[in-house]
Amino acid sequence: MEERIIIAGFGGQGVMAMGQLITYSGMIEGKKVSWLPSYGPEMRGGTANCNVIISTEPVGSPVVVEASTAIVLNKPSLDKFESAVVPGGKLFINSSLIDRKSTRDDIDVYYVPATEIANELGNPRVANMVMLGAYLEVSNTVEVESILEAFGKVFGESKAHLLPLNKEALEKGMETVKQVQTDTV
Amino acid sequence: MAIAFEKTRGLTDIPTHYCPGCTHGIIHRLVAESMEELGVLDKAIGVAPVGCSVLAYKYFNCDMHEAAHGRAPAVATGIKRVHPDNFVFTYQGDGDLASIGTAEIVHAAHRGEKISTIFVNNAIYGMTGGQMAPTTLVGQKATTAPYGRDEALAGKPIRMSEMLATIDGAKFVERVTVTTPAHIRKAKKAIKECFKVQIEGKGFGIVEVLSTCPTNWGLTPVEALRWLEKNMIPYYPLGNFKKPEEGK
Amino acid sequence: MAKVLMKGNEAVGAAAIEAGCRFFFGYPITPQNEIPEYMSRELPKVGGMFVQAESEIAAINMVYGAAGAGARVMTSSSSPGISLKQEGISYLAGAELPCVIVNMMRGGPGLGGIQPSQTDYFQATRGGGNGDYRVLVLAPSDVQELVDLVIEGFDLADEYRNPVMILGDGMIGQMMEPVEFKEREKRELPPKDWATTGTNGKRKPNIINSLYLNAEDLEKHNTYLQNKYNKMREKEVRVESYNVEDADVVISAYGTTARIAKTAISKLEKEGYKVGLIRPISLFPYPYDEFNKIKDDCKGVLTVEMNTGQMLDDVRIALNGRVPTYFYGRTGGMVPTPEEIVNKVKEIYGGAK
């Protein structure tokens, strides 16, 4: 098994943290993992992305060129990474901020109104967790329990009080994707 | 018979390589005597520069580093951070400190490194053969200023003590010379005061010593001393620019 | 100890502290900023000292001071900053001072870019500064190896009284992988009786110096240094190799490029190609002998680097014309893909397996 993921969005949307949560969870579950961020001169507002690999074999190149999954949180990221998904792969789109549909017909596409759901939960910053929930529900790459365990490692003790909200967002994402899945695929 | 004078233990017995009439020898002695008298010689770690005093590590009777050109204050920073209870000093010329090493001296002072710097200013690059230094006086001839320093081309000489005195981390700044016995006594007093600033943990200290270079100035040793007094002191006024207030 | 997920740059800091490094002098430059940030945060907690220098030149000279004073000390930078440090590295080598220098390489020349590269191979392995000297150069391929080599690097530096360079790149610095800090054997190291600590009136002054004005003395010093480098060549060669004897094509790559090559090799193997790998871990000393294992009728050795062919010179020295050499490289921060390497290997095969 090798899952090769690209996660992309605006800086500040939490795409790096999402990637780290999946990576940490993979490590907890004894898999071989790597996380590679894009890094550029812009500190905020630009596009950010990270590459995550979860594998049963040692990770070779940590660069994801051919992704088994892409999770995109804004439109520039969809434009950039839509073509990177291998045929039969999965594409998760934050439909709250992306007004177009995917043009690919050889992959599974999931439209998740993550920002709207996060707003309903009272904090737009957990949109990433909604997307992550949707991804986990569909892919089963790692267990939700591992993600919750990884939360403290990635965000540190000082953010422990945010775990319940993030867990709720994760669950909302999981529920939602079951709906959209039947709607769109 | 009573002993009237003894060579300080702060200097080794190795004869120095300095030219006849050069004042480095006097300044070495003052530094060494000051360390011995203040009781820090045995825990002293010195840093020699590149320039005429490049071999100072052979002459001071304490642990020494030989640094790259201009970098002595950075090297001293590394040493002092490792051994905060030792006495750490740099001994640098004007090409070393006022030209290639300006960043290092300014920032060591700025960080308030608890080190002491002896800055020997003879207004010329001595060892390399009399080239123009940032401290060379306007009109003064040098091998790279054969028509005399031209202000339009090279600017005016840099006054390091005045500049360093503006930095908060610098707690002691004084300019002295060693052209007469009276000046030598004053110079030693300044060096000891400067060293005490480090010993008492107050911060960075520097003593600029106006010095001669009879060889490259093309003068006899005595003429060189008089030339210094007549030409350098008016541009580089002697005196204390900064010292810790009493009790602080 | 349990595994933790760490960014390469932070792992460098953690490994250094684990190795007993208590002094760090640095200057910011992308893509290695997490190293000074980590050290500024963590060193004070263990009684250590972090100083942000005014420049890379000052930083390496602070290292010179601290190393001469007997401390375990480190600095880190990326390519343009490492260029600035070369003066100090030459002095450290000349004065035989132990320290660890980390270079997370980025694209050049000049200001270049901030994306990963391996363009400082020549600079790292041929000395880099003035004079006839070498630093021990170690090139980790993953974050765990980065940790292990940093820790070992401090011991090697002390053992040989020589700077050790960890040659990584922006990718290994920025990526996260699981790392484990394993119990390790304590190495027997020579006492630092040469360090400047103050004589306390009990011994002759110690002098840290690289100046030898007498030509005979300087030649003697150089001969002594060369003997030391020869000892490193005998004892400190580190290499990982895979299927070298049997391979029709051998790939040679180091650092992050090697892991990309591994992905390419497993793809090629699935298609029936016989491809080996020589991954130098120590770039100086270089594992020349490993290339002797390659069979005479090997179709070629493909060197893959993120530059235009630097280690290629060492591969050619090792092979001495015995087997054809090929090169594939990307530059500017472009990272070769496994597919590109696969295609190049197939090209060398010339169609027939």
**Ranges of each domain in chain A:** 2-184
List C-alpha distances in Å: A115 to A111, A112, A155. 12, 9, 21
Superfamily name and number for A2-184:
Pyruvate-ferredoxin oxidoreductase, PFOR, domain III (3.40.920.10)
Instruction: Give which of C30, C176, C342 to mutate to test A binding, by max A Cβ within 10 Å.
Output: C176
Chain B residue set in contact with C, beta carbons under 8 Å: 12, 41-45, 47, 54-55, 57-58, 60-68, 71, 74-83, 86-87, 103-104, 106-107, 111
Best C39, C49, C54 member to test B by mutation, with max B CBs in 10 Å, is C54
Residues in chain B, overall count: 248
Domain ranges, ordered by start, for chain C: 4-235, 241-349
First-to-last alpha carbon distance for chain A, in angstroms, is 24
Burial of B4 (0-12, 13-18, 19+ CB in 10 A): exposed
Query: Taking 60 as the threshold, does the pLDDT of residue A42 lie above it?
Result: no
Q: Do residues A49 and A38 touch, judged by C-beta distance below 8 A?
A: yes
Residues of B in contact with C91 (CB under 8 A): 67-68
Residue of B nearest to C57 (CA): B71
Are C338 and A33 a contacting pair at CB < 8 A? no
* Structure tokens, A45: 């507002």
Nearest CA to C175 out of A63, A40, A28, A80 is that of A63
Residue B70 pLDDT greater than 70, yes or no: yes
Q: What is the pLDDT of residues C8-54, one digit of tens each?
A: 999 999 999 999 999 999 999 999 999 999 999 999 999 999 999 99
Listing DSSP states for C201-244 in one string gives TTSPPPEE-----SHHHHHHHHHHHHHHHHHHHHH---EEEEST
φ, ψ (nearest 5 deg) of residue C279: -115, 100
Whether C241-349 and C4-235 are alike in CATH topology: the answer is yes
- pLDDT digit string (tens) for C295-347? 999 999 999 999 999 999 999 999 999 999 999 999 999 999 999 999 999 99
Q: How many domains does chain B have?
A: 1
With left for phi above 0 and alpha for psi between -120 and 50, is residue C309 left, alpha or beta? Answer: left
State whether residue C34 is helix, strand or coil: helix
CA C123, CA C112: separation in Å to the nearest integer?
16
Half-sphere exposure of A127 (CA within 13 A, CB side): 25
Q: What pLDDT is stored for residue A185 in this prediction? A: 43
Q: How many helices (H) and strands (E) does chain B have?
A: 11, 7
pTM: 0.95
pLDDT of A184 > 80? The answer is: no
CATH superfamily of C4-235: Thiamin diphosphate (ThDP)-binding fold, Pyr/PP domains (3.40.50.970)
Asked if pLDDT for residue C254 goes beyond 80, the answer is yes
SS3 A89: strand
When the pLDDT of each residue in chain A is averaged and rounded to a whole number, the result is 92
DSSP string over C284-331: ES--GGGGGGS-TT--EEEEEESSSSSHHHHHHHHHTTSS-EEEEE--
Chain C residues lying within 8 Å of A24, measured CB to CB: 5
Tokens of C111: 């200001």
pLDDT of residue C185: 86
Both tokens assigned to B172: 């002691």
At CB < 8 Å, which residues of chain C contact B?
Answer: 23, 25, 49, 51, 53-55, 57-59, 61-71, 73, 87-88, 91, 95, 196-201, 205-211
DSSP character for C106? B
pLDDT value for C351: 67
Domain of B63, CATH number, reads: 3.40.50.970
Split at pLDDT 50, 70, 90, the class of A41 is low
Whether residues A61 and C3 touch (CB distance < 8 A) is answered with: no
Question: Contact, B97 vs B105, CB < 8 A?
Answer: yes
Nearest-Cα distance to chain B for C261, in Å, is 41
CATH of region C241-349: 3.40.50.920
Best of C22, C27, C89, C208 to disrupt the B interface (most B CBs within 10 Å) is C208
Rounded to whole angstroms, the Cα distance separating C2 from C13 reads: 18
CB contact under 8 A, B75 and C61: yes
pLDDT single digits (tens) A96-136: 999 999 999 999 999 999 999 999 999 999 999 999 999 99
Beta bridge partners of B240: B174
